[in-house]
Amino acid sequence: MALKVLSVDDSRTIRLIVGKSFRPYDVQVCEAANGEEGLAAAAREKPDLIILDVTMPVMDGVTMLSKLKEDPALKTIPVIMLTAESGRDNVLQIAKLGVRDYLVKPFKDTQLIEKAGRIISLQKKPAV
């Protein structure tokens, strides 16, 4: 059974990069454009991993992460945060919320796959 990854980012480009990064693997990528949509998608899809942007309209990633961690059905889903800021205070804030890892934008797809592979068991798709 394919793993599910939820990509939550207001940038369509970033969501496309995340989707492309996981294409060689047995992974289904779901998308949401903000934290509110992301919470609904997390509850509906029960992903194995969430790739979550920090800065978004409607509901930002930090608020979404806080709400995830308050929900008994969702709090164990591992999260990798995407942030444009690598500042120590910013990183400490998201670390306190229980994020598993983070990536600073712009990032390479190999960095994303490396970090995701430490959290979920990525399997290459069989050659057709």
pLDDT digits (tens, 9 = 90+) for 20-41: 999 999 999 999 999 999 999 9
Q: Do the beta carbons of residue 33 and residue 57 sit within 8 Å?
A: no
pLDDT of residue 94 exceeding 80, the answer is: no
Percent of the chain with pLDDT over 90: 74
pLDDT of residue 96 exceeding 90, the answer is: no
Model confidence, pTM: 0.93
Q: Do the beta carbons of residue 10 and residue 33 sit within 8 Å?
A: yes
**Residues found in the chain:** 128
